[in-house]
Chains A and B, each alone.
Chain A
């Protein structure tokens, strides 16, 4: 009894320490963004929202926000639609073939982002494509789609096909089965997959940096600001990105795990 409890306590301690270690840089970013000290050092000084005001007054911030919004939303929608269709197709294959297909499709996620970025940039320049948001979006799709495919495939692999056979038995056409049976059952998964794709896309820096040309998104703006002005308005921007990423990931987790 006693040893049980004490070993439990040790594990708790480890868990807490690990969390402090992992979270402290993030906590500092948030912390400095609300302090008056312009050098992002301790002590932070009085509480202020001044750095946020400075950030919001910067036209570059609004440009980057708009671009990030366009990219994130497009990537969310496109990768969900394309990824779902691919997953539905693969789910009909034999398990061995499906496994091979999934391995190939998830390669972009395994590859070092830098290599992937180089490959994409090289490809665009080879074909003489001018860089811009229209090159960022398909580039993001390359590494967000695998997430969608894996998530939807996992759901379809566990799908009870007797449900689909029942619907056919009761006279339903394939189209009707898709819209009245499959889609309602997998829609929480789809929303979750879209949110994860968006979270991944929103905070990507390397691939965006190589494929955007002269424009900017929020992460590339952070990079630019780091090189010019080192005041806590970067921390304010970091905090905003952090909040957006975390909340969409949390929402995704909540939605995909929620099963009545």
Chain B
């Protein structure tokens, strides 16, 4: 009894590693698309691979799906080494960027194609197709051809066709890239819902950081074929590991300087206390951590810097102020729109500052 209790409280369900990549790399001629990469994806995760165009996201997804053979390294799925297996023998299914629907088959034929190959009995096929089509709201469209569907509907067929196979990992390559903004929001919602309803493991590729933040419970940021940081969206947003990550995830003010004997000195004479070895650093301050302050009450803030408002953009929930500091830096600050009349306008001289907790020091290599 006590042993059962102990087992039940062990977090092994959440911690179980489903996809394990070790020293994985892929070279195309002289291009190193993926470089000596290690990555673990746990069961049940909604995992985002985020990075700029050409950083190797699709290549990495193709390696996991079996569409490309790695130059070095090992891929394990569910504890099994699948490095040498083709896509038809992996428990992964992919939703391609262009969907890759079979144009000469109806929605239903598209969805049942894989089940037929797997020789699934007819009544089970029926059940699984019915479940998946109702999950993605395609029930009324089963007899249409792909050409007779909207972009969003085609996207859902691709999703249904992969989901019906009940893959261990569902791979999605920029699943929402072809959709307009409104539809994208709706499908994001649907994907989140699907992930909860099915409880599967999803791994998707995107170059859109807001999409990654909105959907994923873990994000890996890629740069030049490497993963430069991974963690929850909150961790990565609050604690960017490098200038690249800071600039890529969310908007950020990035100020260059150096640390000399326990003090950060930014160009233009801004000084902050910070322990650590002497070296070049950047200071990252998110626009919502920048405050407009009164010259007379700067105690609560770490710094109070004089400057002039260069631009002000109304953004609905907040205003975006662009301030040029007297020391030469440009800083963006978000202030609540509710400030209304007494908010600073273009040309006003103001002081801005931030709390110690609102800035992040990142060492440069």
A interface residues, Cβ below 8 angstroms from B = 160, 162-173, 176, 180-181, 184-185, 260
Instruction: Please judge, given known A-B contacts A184-B104, A260-B145, whether A172 and B98 are in contact too, CB under 8 Å.
Output: no
Which residues of B34-93 have CB atoms within 8 Å of chain A's CB atoms? 65, 67, 86-88, 92-93
Given pairs A166-B161, A180-B113, A184-B104, 17 additional interface contacts (CB within 8 A): A160-B98, A162-B97, A162-B98, A162-B99, A163-B101, A165-B87, A165-B96, A165-B100, A166-B101, A166-B158, A168-B87, A168-B88, A169-B162, A170-B88, A170-B165, A171-B118, A185-B104
A169 with B102: CB separation less than 8 A: no
Give Cα distance in the complex from A163 to B86, angstroms: 16
- What B residues does A180 contact at CB under 8 A? 113
Report B111 CB to chain A, min CB distance, Å.
10
Q: Taking the complex as formed, is B284 at the interface, i.e. its CB lies under 8 A from any CB of chain A?
A: no
Chain B interface size, as a band, is 20 to 34
Contacts of B358 in A (CB 8 A): none
By the criterion CB–CB under 8 Å, are A181 and B102 in contact? yes
> When the two chains form their complex, are residues B88 and A169 in contact, meaning their CB atoms are under 8 A apart?
yes
Q: Which partner residue on chain B sits nearest A161 by CB separation?
A: B100
Cβ–Cβ < 8 Å partners of A176 in chain B = 117
Bound form: Cα–Cα A171–B119 in Å = 11
Docked Cα-Cα span, A167 to B162, in Å, equals 11
* B96 / chain A contacts, CB cutoff of 8 Å: 162, 165-166
Identify 22 residue pairs between A and B in the complex whose beta-carbon atoms are under 8 Å apart, listed by A's number.
A160-B98, A160-B100, A162-B96, A162-B97, A162-B98, A163-B101, A163-B102, A164-B100, A165-B94, A165-B100, A166-B102, A166-B158, A166-B161, A168-B67, A169-B87, A169-B93, A169-B114, A171-B114, A172-B113, A172-B117, A185-B103, A260-B145
Tell me, yes or no, whether B147 is within 8 Å of chain A by CB: yes
B273 to chain A, nearest CB (A): 55
What residues of A have a CB within 8 angstroms of the CB of B100 in the complex? 160, 162-166
Known: A176-B117, A260-B145. A169 touches B94 (CB 8 A): yes
Question: Does B67 lie within 8 Å of A171, measured CB to CB?
Answer: no
- Chain A residue contacts of B94, Cβ below 8 A: 165-166, 169
The residue on B at minimum CB distance from A177 is B88
Q: Residues of B contacting A169 with CB < 8 Å?
A: 65, 67, 87-88, 92-94, 114, 162
Closest-by-CB residue of A relative to B100 is A162
- Are B102 and A260 neighbours in the complex by a CB distance under 8 Å? no
Within 8 A of A (CB), among B100-145: 100-104, 113-114, 117-118, 145
Interchain CB contact (< 8 A) of A260 among B92, B113, B147? B147
User: Judging by beta carbons under 8 Å apart, are A170 and B113 in contact?
Assistant: yes
**Cβ contact within 8 Å between A163 and B103:** yes
Residues of B within 8 A of A170 (CB): 88, 93, 113-114, 117, 161, 165
